[in-house]
Structure 1
């Protein structure tokens, strides 16, 4: 069942990313994000910049009270189309490392996409074998089932981990483009603690069950 379908084809100046799934899970578009009628573009903020932008650099989809945007213990699939030339940034996530109820996260360390499902009890993560920060459009798809987390790039299985990732349900929003709860002044994490994504995203889709 489709639970989220952000086509990100809003015109310039739009403040709402419309959910075409029928569930009404619309996203709030931050003022730094450039919409052009076809895709969304995130501007680049180097990790050393040290400025907190909060929701300005994000598209944020609120948590659904009915739990439809959380994996829970069900099969859960996430797919998006992206383009980037930078080897860092959190592309998509629900919750952060200490979130009660677990976390789901996509990031691109060294230019390779990784997909992680983490419950309070267990973590299952896999990293692409395909370099994706090459300035080309790539379709990223991660499928979580009871037996594995499988990561596909452009329709081809790139990597997987055969492991159950538990029951995941938190009260946090889905954020596209980085973290919302972060502090660039912390000496332990420094200016890169927000993990801001630079690049383009064409759509974001999710299925549950």
Structure 2
């Protein structure tokens, strides 16, 4: 009579372990980890594929024969074998999540490659409070200097970025520390390339230059984003002339907006929140100057003869791409 009870106990243990393993697979927290892995890999692109940590996880997940061998070596201990099986199932979930994440990253990389664009600079603007260096995460080393009037680590409406406080237009003196500047580099000049600038911004004001390289009198041309009357405008000035495009509605409503301006060989287009809102045909000619890139206003101004056009509002990130 003792043997049946042992079988019953073993069967009960198997059922319990199997149920436990199923619950472990279905735990919402692990789904969140898998989803996070997918998103993280897609954001990292090719780095996600090459990162040793992903390989290490995949190798760890598939390195289970030794556990199976131990389970086979002790056939009488069914509960331990079932536990090993549950561990294998749990690790298979990680393998599937990892493989899916790598596949997603590869798809994202292929999509970027198909456009032919590459990042010139990517400023995420996620530095901590009091930071004075704006980090370029593109790998091109185009880091910026954050003026001490710019407030970093500002969280608002689900995002963290920089805040540029309001300054009275055309009231002296100039405030050069209201700006973020990146030293002149030929990589930042549009030149003859297709060239796009994308900004995520939030403001309730209606004035100021958001980002620019060069000014109206700069030899070699210039480009800039500005927001007069709360309506975003984009300007490219080259050797063949100037093209300006502007949105049809105000975006100074206190919500985050993604604004993208692109100059190509056939014209300049402006998109707000993923929708093209303005386009003008023409060719500006090459643009190349010796000026720094500035975020938040002009670098060469005195608020008397030349207004500084200081931006007021928040910026979450800025990216420049070329092709």
Q: Which bracket does the TM-score occupy, shorter chain normalised?
A: over 0.9
- 1:71 offset after TM fit, Å? 0.6
Please give the alpha-carbon distance, in whole angstroms, between the structure 2 residues aligned to 1:140 and 1:41.
17
**Bigger share in strand:** 1
Structure possessing the higher relative contact order (Cα contacts under 8 Å, 6 or more residues apart): 1
CA RMSD of aligned residues (A): 1.1
Matched, 1:59 2:59: no
Report if the CA contact (8 A) 1:114-1:128 is conserved: yes
2:232 pairs, out of 108, 113, 116, with 113
- Is 1:161 aligned to residue 284 of structure 2? no
Tell me the CA shift for residue 50 of structure 1.
Answer: 2.3
Task: Return the match for 1:194 from 308, 312, 321.
Answer: 308
Q: Secondary structure at the match of 2:277?
A: strand
CA contact (8 A) 1:130 1:153 kept: no
Superposition deviation, residue 51 in structure 1: 2.1
Q: Deviations over 1:132-169 (max 9, x none)?
A: 11111100001111001000000001111111111000
Larger radius of gyration between Structure 1 and Structure 2 = 2
| Equivalent position to 1:29, from 138, 146, 150 | 146
Preserved CA contact (<8 Å) 1:95 1:174: yes
Q: 2:161 aligns with which of 39, 61, 64?
A: 39
User: Is this contact kept in 2: 1:83–1:138, CA < 8 A?
Assistant: yes
> Which string of whole-angstrom CA distances, capped at 9 and with x for unpartnered residues, describes residues 3-48 of structure 1?
1000000001100000001000001000001111620000110115
After superposition, the C-alpha distances for 1:64-84 in whole angstroms (9 at most, x for unaligned) are: 1xx211110110011010001
1:184 alignment partner, one of 280, 292, 303: 303
Q: Any conservation in 1 of the 2:196–2:263 contact (CA below 8 Å)?
A: yes
Q: Give deviations 1:167-199, integer Å, cap 9, x for gaps.
A: 00001111000001001122xx5xxx0000000
Question: Equivalent residue for 1:8?
Answer: 125
Partner SS for 2:201: strand
Following the alignment from structure 1 to structure 2, what is the Cα–Cα distance between the partners of residues 163 and 30?
37
Shift of 1:110: 1.0
Higher helix share: 2
